[in-house]
A and B are shown apart, each in its own frame.
Chain A
Amino acid sequence: MPETAAGGGGVPIELRAVTKRFPGAAAPAVNELDLTIAAGEIVVLLGPSGCGKTTTMRMINRLDEPTSGDILIGGRSARDIDPDRLRRNIGYVIQQAGLFPHLTVAANIAQVPRLLKWDSGRIARRVEELLTLVGLDPATFAQRYPRALSGGQQQRVGVARALAADPPVMLMDEPFGALDPITRERLQDELLRLQEELAKTIVFVTHDVDEALKIGDRIAIMERGARIVQYARPAEILTAPAGEYVEQYLGGGSSMRLLRLTKVGDIRLDSVPHATAGADARALLAQAEDEGRDFALVVDEAGRPRRWVSAADLAAARGPVGELGEETGPPIGHRMTLQDALEALLNADSDVVPVVGRGQAYAGVLSLSTVQNAIQAIKARERERRRRRLSGLTGDSGDGGSGDGGPGDSGSGPGGGA
């Protein structure tokens, strides 16, 4: 039995001029599609229903056979592999999980290992390992039947079943589409966490823009006939949508989405004068005056932000800073999204909130204007990158360039944080 690479890892997938014509249909469902998916990436096929994204995905594991063209998985043509054996090496997750209701959770997960004729001890160990991996307690869930599980739990089992034989490739067809928003968010987070460990090549089909932006390393936006309108990283799609179709599909609020995609740690933070409680008040005041601030931050021995002190307080003090000033309130973590950070900023008592990095240590400060500047900087950077590429390529999608000059918010003010 060909066992897949132990320890996971993905393989690249390449679609070459793939066409799928269903009998009786006037137009092909997928027309001359070329798509290269890098190993270990999550590629989202995004588009309205009926655009051919699911058909595209189903051709990879040959549930639908291409009418013409070729699909290479890890360099091998899918045509040359027996479909059943091919599918055992490709994880498959569908909407509402598709668990077999007459089998226990453990038996559901064990299906592929059984097809691969693993011995029962190895299967039992693998089932336990997988349940733990997807966050379900094996002792509680292994012997339950799917109907006794919530939708979210069922889909966890669905993911576990797909991962059972550690396949290098996973196909996920709107796996979280039927779940409530909170459960969906949680499962998306967990998928990303899993992916960090497993680094599979994942093809993920959805019509939900937010899901695509959150999950995808790259997104292929499709229109009818599975024609790819734009194939790019989420940030680029947001900042430089290729034409009207993409903009329409994204809908409004792309700046809000950018906030959700960007981590606090990824932007340039402001800094403030800071010192421990044992430091000399006068020295700290001098430092604040140097930097043009009328306040400073007191941190503890581990570098964790503790108190704000005003210049006036410092000026009145003698010797060490001590217990001057007031508590800073909860800091912002460097792994928070800008959106969460913005929320924290709006709720904070002060205009400036400290940002902490590893070990809760001071890493900088954030204010509303820092966030604003960061967003504008990202947009400007993407515009610049795009302009450079367009001038290098010439032609192709010249109309996409209209996004460049237009937006009224492009008057990026000289940043205070610079």
Chain B
Amino acid sequence: MNLWEYIADRRDLLLFETAQHASMVAQCVLVAAVIGVAVGVVTYRRPRGAALATGTAGVLFTVPSLAMLGLLIPVLGLGVAPSVTAIVLYALLPIIRNTVVGLQGVDPMLVDAARGIGMSRLRALTRIELPLAWPVILTGIRVSTQLAMGIGAVAAYVSGPGLGEQIFSGLARLGGANAVNSTLTGTLGVALLALAFDACFVLLGRLTRPGGRRA
């Protein structure tokens, strides 16, 4: 059976796993984005707070993903819970860091102008600072998404959902029938999904660029 026949044969299963993978990544990144931006917003004005936040996220980042998943098993068991937790944790670092960098990069003069014409702290943040930092934050989210794609595949190790299942079952049966096909399908699927997500980010970036398109 060649690769194409393998895929044709399991079309429904593969589509399901792809959809599962995409949905898992999207939801995890969404959660990570909400937490990450919030942490960034809270800490960016306090150098020590910002260092602590990025430092902690950085330490988590250095833990190998297999080890992280393994460590989460005793706490959260198998399946969706440890997978989602691991992905969110990994996705946090780029988002927090870029949020902090993006917000710190907004010209203080503009914040001064915003406050000076009578905007409250919150309004200056939501109307001026966040929109201006948005391209940098979006880049962080984009990097996180790519990360989440890969780690999502590894999540099959703890019986997580998604295309990782194809990769791991193939690797487990290496030498057996369709082992290579299965691994290859999973890998290609993740890669294609990653490209598709990235394309979405490019589009989103264009649509939400502050100051609109070139006037």
- Known contacts A84-B119, A102-B210; A148 and B109 CB within 8 A of each other: no
Given A100-B110, A102-B210, A88 and B215 contact (CB-CB distance below 8 Å): no
> A385 on the interface (CB 8 Å rule)?
no
Q: Are A87 and B116 CB-contacts (below 8 A) given A101-B210, A101-B211?
A: yes
Assess whether B115 is in contact with A111, with CB atoms less than 8 Å apart.
Answer: no
Residues of A within 8 A of B119 (CB): 84, 111, 115
B128 at interface, CB cutoff 8 A: yes
- Partner pick for A63 among B115, B131, B210, CB 8 A cutoff: B115
CB of A383 within 8 Å of the partner chain: no
Query: How many A-B pairs fall under 8 Å by CB?
Result: 63
Residues of A within 8 A of B110 (CB): 98, 100-101
Q: Is the Cβ of A98 less than 8 Å from the Cβ of B211? A: no
Does any Cβ of B come within 8 Å of A21's Cβ? Answer: no
CA distance A95 to B115 in the complex (A): 15
Report if A249 contacts B (CB, 8 A): no
Give B212's nearest chain A residue, CB to CB: A145
Nearest Cβ in chain B — how far from A330, in angstroms? 44
Contact A84 B211 (CB under 8 A): no
A98/B109 in contact, CB under 8 A: yes
CA distance A87 to B114 in the complex (A): 10
- B118 part of interface (Cβ distance < 8 Å): yes
Q: Is the CB of A98 within 8 A of B112?
A: yes
Asked whether A96 lies within 8 Å of B117 as measured between CB atoms, the reply is no
Closest chain-B Cβ to A389's Cβ sits at a distance in Å of 38
> Once the chains are docked, how many angstroms separate the CA of A145 from the CA of B212?
9
Q: For the complex, give the distance between the alpha carbons of A92 and B112 in Å.
A: 10
**A264 lies within 8 A of chain B by Cβ:** no
Inside 8 A of A156's CB, which chain B residues have their CB? none
- In the complex, residue of chain B having the shortest beta-carbon distance to the beta carbon of A111: B117
Q: Report B-chain residues with C-beta under 8 Å of the C-beta of A162.
A: 117
Q: How far is the CA of A111 from the CA of B118 in the complex (A)?
A: 9
Residue A94 lies at the interface, judged by CB distance under 8 Å to chain B = yes
Chain A residues in 8 Å Cβ range of B132: 100-102
User: Interface size bucket, B side?
Assistant: 10 to 19
Query: Contact at B113–A88, with CB atoms within 8 Å?
Result: no
Instruction: Report if B56 contacts A (CB, 8 A).
Output: no
CB <8 Å contact, B114 and A84: no
Interface residues of A in 171-226 (CB under 8 A from B): 171
Given that A87-B118, A88-B118, A100-B128 are contacting pairs, would A147 and B113 also be in contact in the complex, using a CB cutoff of 8 Å?
no
A94–B112 contact, CB under 8 A? yes
Assess whether B114 is in contact with A100, with CB atoms less than 8 Å apart: yes
Chain A residues with CB under 8 A of B126: none
Given A101-B132, A101-B211, A147-B211, A92-B113 contact (CB < 8 Å): yes
Is the pair B215, A144 in contact by a Cβ cutoff of 8 Å? yes
Q: A115 vs B114: C-alpha distance in the bound complex, in angstroms?
A: 11
The answer to whether B118 and A112 touch across the interface, beta carbons within 8 angstroms, is yes
CB distance from B22 to the nearest CB of A (A): 31
Q: List B contacts of A227 (CB < 8 A).
A: none
Contact A88 B117, CB 8 Å, known A100-B128, A145-B211, A145-B212 = yes
Q: Are A102 and B109 in contact (CB under 8 A)?
A: no
Q: Kindly list chain B residues whose C-beta atoms are within 8 Å of the C-beta of A387.
A: none
- Residues from chain B with a CB closer than 8 A to the CB of A307 are none
As a 0/1 sequence over residues 123 to 143 of chain B, the CB contacts with chain A under 8 angstroms (1 = contact) are 100001001100000000000
CA gap between A183 and B6 in the complex, in Å? 73
CB-based contact A96/B116 at 8 Å: no
The answer to whether B27 has its CB under 8 Å from any CB of chain A is no
Q: Which residues of B contact A103 (CB under 8 A)?
A: 211
Q: How far is it, in angstroms, between the C-alpha of A100 and the C-alpha of B212 when the chains are bound?
A: 13
> Would you give the shortest CB distance from A201 to chain B, in whole angstroms?
17
Contact residues in A for B109 (Cβ distance below 8 Å): 94-96, 98
Residue of A nearest to B113 (CB): A98
Q: Smallest Cβ distance from A140 to chain B, in angstroms?
A: 12
Q: B residues within 8 A CB of A115?
A: 117-119, 123
- Name the residue on B nearest A88 (C-beta): B118
Asked whether, in the complex, the Cβ of A84 is within 8 Å of the Cβ of B118, the reply is yes
**Most chain A C-beta atoms within 10 Å of own C-beta, residue among B109, B113, B118, B212:** B118
A window 129-164: CB within 8 A of B: 143-145, 147-148, 161-162
Cβ of B23 within 8 Å of any chain A Cβ, yes or no, is no
- The CA of A21 and the CA of B131, in the complex, are separated in Å by 34
CA A145 to CA B210, docked complex, whole Å: 10
B residues 85-120 in Cβ contact with A at 8 Å: 109-110, 112-120
Query: Contacts of A61 on B, CB cut-off 8 Å?
Result: 116
Contacts known (A102-B131, A145-B211, A147-B211); A94 close to B113, Cβ less than 8 A: yes
Answer yes or no: A85 CB below 8 A from chain B CBs: yes
B131 to chain A: closest residue by CB: A102
A63 touches B215 (CB 8 A): no
In the complex, what's the smallest C-beta–C-beta distance from A385 to chain B, in angstroms?
Answer: 39
**Contact present for B120 and A63 (CB under 8 Å):** no
Which 6 A-B pairs have CB atoms at the shortest separation, nearest pair first?
A: A102-B210, A98-B113, A88-B118, A87-B118, A92-B116, A102-B211
A–B Cβ pairs within 8 angstroms, 8 of them:
A63-B115, A84-B120, A86-B118, A88-B118, A95-B109, A96-B109, A145-B211, A161-B117
Show the binding face of A for B, using Cβ within 8 Å: 61, 63, 84-89, 92, 94-96, 98-103, 111-112, 115, 143-145, 147-148, 161-162, 171
Told that A92-B117, A98-B113 touch, could you supply 12 new A-B pairs with CB distance under 8 A? A63-B116, A87-B115, A87-B118, A88-B118, A92-B116, A94-B113, A94-B116, A95-B109, A102-B211, A103-B211, A143-B215, A162-B117
